[in-house]
Amino acid sequence: MAQLAIELRNVSKKRRNKTIGPLNLGLPKGHIIALVGQNGSGKSTLLQMLLQLTHPEEGEILWFDKAHSEGIPIEVRQTMAYVPENSLTEENHWSAEEAAAFRSLWYPQWDQPYFQELMHTFEVPRNIKLGKMSKGERRKFEIAATLAAKPQLLLLDEPSSGLDPFAWKAMIEALRKYMDQHDATILISTHIVDEVRRLADYIVLMHKGQLLGMADKDSLFGAWSEVWVNVADQEELAELATELPGTLNHTMDGKGVASFVTGQFEQIEKRLHHMGVKVVKSRVLELDEILGLWTQGYRPILVDDKKGD
């Protein structure tokens, strides 16, 4: 079994009038895991619990196989770094250099030349206080400082929020390079489909305070297809729908072309061939469409399903 960086066991947290959880999840070490879900689904709450910035009412969290109910010890905290959704105001009166000097005292692995390199690559302004930086500039500093701490566990809460396309690309490259060179684990909360596509090994979906599971990105991206076929009329489409179980969203245009969505394209294609129905074209669904189906209950194959194989 893969070693876990983080494990959640029946973790529940009350938030005003809703409860986040019970959450059960194992984050495999050495991978990038994208945490996705609609606004308010509980992603930031989950990240904050992993930092003990907030505490669950029930359940247990393990960091590298250990529960730290008395507080995460310093030597473990020093292997963790966090980009919060909103930057902390405590550092507002410092320049990037001053904040880096402070952080370097906290993180024994702090790599100053690497910090400078990232600041240069991200084009972060040097001579202004963090509190005076634009949202994107501040974000770039936060990402540079997080990586320079050389953590084993990076918790990134919408790190690309406010980044321009150049900075975004530089961030993606920096994170990839970091993963190539270190045995680290990244949990990244994001709404950006392209970020998931380029970075993630696994995708964890949260929906209304619940974890719907963790899927392998490569199998998830190819999971669903939309297929267009030639049919004579609505009646033939209805017949086809009953002949092809598990197909969804059947629609028809006025020109004898019908479309539907399937999670078993290869089998369906063979079946259509036997039935003499012509496939006009097909496409693989985009991640947002796949996540939409997942939240409606059309679950993909999950990592946990594979464990039983």
Whichever of 47 and 268 has its CB closer to ligand ATP, that residue is 47
Rg (CA), the chain: 23
Whichever of 44 and 185 has its CB closer to ligand ATP, that residue is 44
Cα distance between residue 279 and residue 294, in whole Å: 25
Q: How far is the CB of 39 from ligand ATP (least distance, A)?
A: 3
Cα distance between residue 291 and residue 294, in whole Å: 5
Element (H, E) at 23: strand 18-28
Whichever of 43 and 217 has its CB closer to ligand ATP, that residue is 43
Order across the sheet with 58-63: list the strands: 18-28, 4-15, 58-63, 66-67
Whichever of 26 and 42 has its CB closer to ligand ATP, that residue is 42
Element (H, E) at 260: strand 257-262
Residues contributing to the site for ligand ATP (CB under 6 A) = 15-16, 18, 37, 39-45, 85
Q: How far is the CB of 189 from ligand ATP (least distance, A)?
A: 6
Rounded to 10 degrees, the C-alpha dihedral 98/126/51/150 comes to -90
Q: How far is the CB of 85 from ligand ATP (least distance, A)?
A: 6
Q: How far is the CB of 188 from ligand ATP (least distance, A)?
A: 12
Q: How far is the CB of 76 from ligand ATP (least distance, A)?
A: 23
Amino acid present at 133: M
Whichever of 46 and 72 has its CB closer to ligand ATP, that residue is 46
Q: How far is the CB of 35 from ligand ATP (least distance, A)?
A: 8
**Residue with the two structure tokens 């001053």:** 98
Whichever of 44 and 79 has its CB closer to ligand ATP, that residue is 44
Q: How far is the CB of 65 from ligand ATP (least distance, A)?
A: 26
Q: How far is the CB of 225 from ligand ATP (least distance, A)?
A: 28
Cα distance between residue 51 and residue 153, in whole Å: 11
Whichever of 21 and 263 has its CB closer to ligand ATP, that residue is 21
DSSP label at 201? S
Provide the token pair at 170. 């530089």
Closest CA to 285 of 263, 306, 301: 263
Amino acid present at 271: R
Contact 104, 81 (CB under 8 A): no
* CB contact burial 214-243 (16+ within 10 A = b; e otherwise): bbbbeebbebbbbbbbebeeeebbeebeee
Whichever of 98 and 288 has its CB closer to ligand ATP, that residue is 288
Contact 236, 72 (CB under 8 A): no
